[in-house]
C-alpha cells in the first residue's frame, strides 16, 4: 500500500503550523509530504522546501505551477493541505478542488461565513473529500468520551462547559503568529472566537453528539486598540435543551493552551483537559470517580485504535493531529471515517463565529444558530 502524496499550501519560513501538519501527516507513514507552495514568495517557498527536505523542484512559487507540474508527474500529489492564514483558505481550497485535488485545511475553514458557504458549494460540486483539522477531536480520550456518551454513560446531557483559555496575546500582538490573528483582513471578523473559539465549539458538539441551536455571545477586545475580539463568553443551548457555556480568551496571562471540557448528564459527568490529555475522568451519580487512561484496557475501539503507545507513555498534540490525518488518509483510500471533521463542521464553525460577532456587537441576547 503506497503512501499518499501531500502538497502543502502555506507553511513557509516562520510558520508554526506548517511543520506540525507535516509531522502529523507523516507520523503513521500513510502520507508523505512531497511538494508545496510554502510561500507566495518564490525564494521563501524554495527555502521552506529545503527545510522540509523535499525535492527542490517541487517547492513551487504559486498554485498554478504546482497543480500543473504535479499533474504531469506519475507520482504527483494526491491532495493538498492548506495551512495559511485564514483569508487564503478559500482561494486555495477552491483552486485545489478545481484541480481535482482533495483538501485538508486548517481551521477556521475560511475568514468569513460567506466564504464558507461558497466553499461548501465548491466541495459539493467537486465531489471530493474535504477535511478540517480540528486537532483536539483527534485525541484518543476525546473519542472515548464521545463514545461513552453515545453509549449512554451519562444519560441525557444537561450541561456542557467548554473553556479555551490562552494568555499569549495579553500584551501587544507581535511576531508572525500574532500579527495576522489580530488583523481582520486576514483573520476575518472574529479574533479569538475564530482562532480558538471554533475549536471549543466543535469539541463541544463532537463529544456531546448534540448540535448547538442558540447562543448568547459577549465578545470583548480587552487589549486597548485591538480590532478583533480577544476574550469571549458565549452561552449555549443544545438541540435537546441542554445548557452550555463556552469561554475562550487569549488574554489570560499564564494560561497556555488550556482547552478543557466538562459534560454532565442525568447519570454522570466526564472531564477532559487538553494539557493533561491522557486521562479522562468519569463521575457517576453514586459518588464514584474513575480515571480512564489513554492506552489502557478500558478503552473502546475509537480510542484504542488511535493510540500508539502503552499506558504511561504520554502522547500529545502531534499524535492527536496525526489521528486527523489518519482518518483523512482512510477517506482518500475509500474507507469511511465518520469522526473526521469536514465541510459540515466548516459551515457550523463559521456560522458560530459570524453569529457570535454579529450578535455580540448588537447586544442581541439569545440568537438562533442557523446554518
Q: How far is the CB of 94 from a second copy (least distance, A)?
A: 29
Task: Name the residue nearer to a second copy (CB basis): 288 or 335.
Answer: 288
User: Does residue 88 touch a second copy according to CB under 8 A?
Assistant: no
Q: How far is the CB of 282 from a second copy (least distance, A)?
A: 8
Q: How far is the CB of 73 from a second copy (least distance, A)?
A: 19
User: Does residue 27 touch a second copy according to CB under 8 A?
Assistant: yes
Taking residue 269's Cβ as centre, other Cβ atoms within 10 Å add up to: 18
Integer Cα distance of 170 and 336 in angstroms: 42
Please report, for residues 35, 87, 196, 321, the alpha-carbon distance to residue 229 in angstroms, rounded to integers and kept in the order given. 36, 17, 11, 26
User: Which one, of 54, 10, 13, 268, lies nearest residue 149 by Cα?
Assistant: 268
Q: Of these, 86, 133, 274, 351, which contacts a second copy (CB under 8 A)?
A: 274
Q: Work out the burial of residue 61: count CB atoms within 10 Å of its CB; fewer than 13 is exposed, 13-18 middle, 19 or more buried.
A: middle
Q: Of these, 269, 341, 342, 349, which contacts a second copy (CB under 8 A)?
A: 269
Binding positions for a second copy, 208-247, rule CB under 8 A: 216, 218, 220, 222, 231, 233, 235, 243, 245, 247
DSSP assignment letter at 87: G
Stretch that binds a second copy, among 37-45, 102-110, 284-292, 352-360 (CB under 8 A): 284-292
Task: Name the residue nearer to a second copy (CB basis): 194 or 268.
Answer: 268
Residues 183-196 as b or e (16 or more Cβ within 10 Å = b): bbeebbbbbbbbbb
Q: Of these, 40, 183, 262, 358, which contacts a second copy (CB under 8 A)?
A: 262
User: Does residue 117 touch a second copy according to CB under 8 A?
Assistant: no
Nine-digit cell at 56? 527542490
Task: Name the residue nearer to a second copy (CB basis): 225 or 288.
Answer: 288
Q: How many CA atoms lie within 13 A of 296 on its CB side?
A: 12
Binding positions for a second copy, 293-352, rule CB under 8 A: 293, 295-298, 308-319
User: Does residue 75 touch a second copy according to CB under 8 A?
Assistant: no
Count of residues in contact with a second copy, rule CB under 8 A? 90
Binding positions for a second copy, 137-166, rule CB under 8 A: 154, 158-159, 161, 165-166
Cα 70 from chain centroid? Answer: 27
Q: How far is the CB of 68 from a second copy (least distance, A)?
A: 26
Question: What DSSP string describes 108-149?
Answer: SS-SSHHHHHHHHHHHHHHT--EEE--GGGGSHHHHHHHHHH
Q: Is 329 within 8 Å of 79 (Cβ atoms)?
A: no
User: Does residue 29 touch a second copy according to CB under 8 A?
Assistant: yes
Task: Name the residue nearer to a second copy (CB basis): 91 or 220.
Answer: 220
Task: Name the residue nearer to a second copy (CB basis): 125 or 253.
Answer: 253
Integer Cα distance of 22 and 34 in angstroms: 10
Element spanning 354, H or E: helix 343-361
Task: Name the residue nearer to a second copy (CB basis): 27 or 371.
Answer: 27
Q: Of these, 65, 276, 333, 368, which contacts a second copy (CB under 8 A)?
A: 276
Query: Coil, helix or strand for 82?
Result: strand
Task: Name the residue nearer to a second copy (CB basis): 121 or 316.
Answer: 316
Task: Name the residue nearer to a second copy (CB basis): 102 or 258.
Answer: 258
User: Does residue 291 touch a second copy according to CB under 8 A?
Assistant: yes
User: Does residue 281 touch a second copy according to CB under 8 A?
Assistant: yes
Residue 261: strand pairing partners: 162, 272
Task: Name the residue nearer to a second copy (CB basis): 224 or 338.
Answer: 224
Amino acid at each position: 500500500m503506497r503512501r499518499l502524496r501531500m502538497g502543502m499550501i502555506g507553511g513557509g519560513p516562520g510558520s508554526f503550523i506548517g511543520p506540525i501538519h507535516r509531522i502529523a501527516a507523516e507520523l503513521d507513514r500513510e502520507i508523505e509530504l512531497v511538494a508545496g507552495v510554502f510561500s507566495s514568495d518564490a525564494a521563501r517557498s524554495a527555502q521552506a522546501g529545503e527545510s522540509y527536505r523535499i525535492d527542490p523542484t517541487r517547492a513551487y512559487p504559486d498554485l498554478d505551477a504546482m497543480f500543473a507540474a504535479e499533474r504531469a508527474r506519475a507520482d504527483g500529489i494526491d491532495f493538498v493541505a492548506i495551512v495559511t492564514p485564514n483569508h487564503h483558505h478559500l482561494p486555495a481550497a477552491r483552486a485545489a478542488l478545481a484541480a481535482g485535488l482533495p483538501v485538508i485545511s486548517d481551521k477556521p475553514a475560511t475568514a468569513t461565513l460567506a466564504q464558507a458557504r461558497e466553499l461548501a458549494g465548491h466541495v459539493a460540486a467537486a465531489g471530493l473529500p474535504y477535511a478540517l483539522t480540528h486537532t483536539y477531536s483527534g485525541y484518543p480520550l476525546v473519542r472515548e468520551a464521545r463514545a461513552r456518551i453515545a453509549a449512554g454513560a451519562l444519560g441525557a446531557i444537561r450541561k456542557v462547559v467548554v473553556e479555551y483559555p490562552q494568555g499569549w496575546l495579553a500584551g501587544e500582538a507581535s511576531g508572525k503568529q500574532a500579527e495576522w490573528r489580530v488583523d481582520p483582513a486576514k483573520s476575518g471578523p472574529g479574533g479569538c472566537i475564530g482562532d480558538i473559539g471554533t475549536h471549543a465549539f466543535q469539541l463541544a458538539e463532537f463529544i456531546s453528539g448534540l448540535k448547538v441551536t442558540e447562543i448568547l455571545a459577549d465578545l470583548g477586545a480587552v487589549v486597548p486598540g485591538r480590532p478583533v475580539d480577544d476574550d469571549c463568553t458565549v452561552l449555549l443551548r443544545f438541540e435537546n435543551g441542554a445548557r452550555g457555556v463556552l469561554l475562550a480568551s487569549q488574554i489570560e496571562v499564564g494560561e497556555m493552551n488550556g482547552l478543557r471540557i466538562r459534560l454532565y448528564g442525568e447519570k454522570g459527568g466526564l472531564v477532559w483537559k487538553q494539557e493533561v490529555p491522557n486521562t479522562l475522568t468519569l463521575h457517576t451519580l453514586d459518588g464514584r470517580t474513575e480515571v480512564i487512561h489513554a492506552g489502557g484496557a478500558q478503552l473502546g475501539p475509537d480510542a484504542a485504535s488511535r493510540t500508539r503507545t502503552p499506558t504511561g507513555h504520554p502522547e500529545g498534540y502531534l499524535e492527536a493531529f496525526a489521528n486527523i490525518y489518519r482518518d483523512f488518509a482512510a477517506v482518500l483510500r475509500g474507507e469511511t471515517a465518520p469522526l473526521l471533521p469536514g465541510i459540515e463542521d466548516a459551515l457550523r464553525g463559521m456560522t458560530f463565529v459570524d453569529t457570535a460577532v454579529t450578535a455580540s456587537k448588537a447586544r442581541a441576547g439569545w440568537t438562533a444558530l442557523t446554518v
